[in-house]
Amino acid sequence: TMSDQNNLKFHEAMKRLDEIVTELNKEDLELEKAMALFVEGTKLSSQCEKQLNEFENKVNEVMKHQESNNDIA
């Protein structure tokens, strides 16, 4: 479900995206199933991008804090 997707950790979401890509590459995939997988993949991709941005912001904060501590010493 969608709420379950939002709770996926980054590596779990990436694993699911990989599974979706594998499924979408199958030649005998029905259009309806392909569309559902595409929508799920798009949502997971957005979630991963958001998580990456949050991680990047945290790293930047830590780096700025570390630099300010080095300036004091």
- pTM for the whole thing? 0.75
Nearest to 21 by CA among 2, 40, 48: 40
**Tens digit of pLDDT for each residue in 49-61?**
999 999 999 999 9
What pLDDT, on a 0 to 100 scale, did the predictor assign at position 30? 96
∠ CA 15-19-21 to the nearest 5 degrees? 115
**Tens digit of pLDDT for each residue in 23-32?**
999 999 999 9
Asked if residues 1 and 42 have their Cβ atoms less than 8 Å apart, the reply is no
Cα–Cα distance list, 41 to 14, 17, 35, 44 (Å): 10, 6, 10, 5
Instruction: Give SS3 for 9.
Output: coil
What pLDDT, on a 0 to 100 scale, did the predictor assign at position 69? 85
What pLDDT, on a 0 to 100 scale, did the predictor assign at position 9? 93
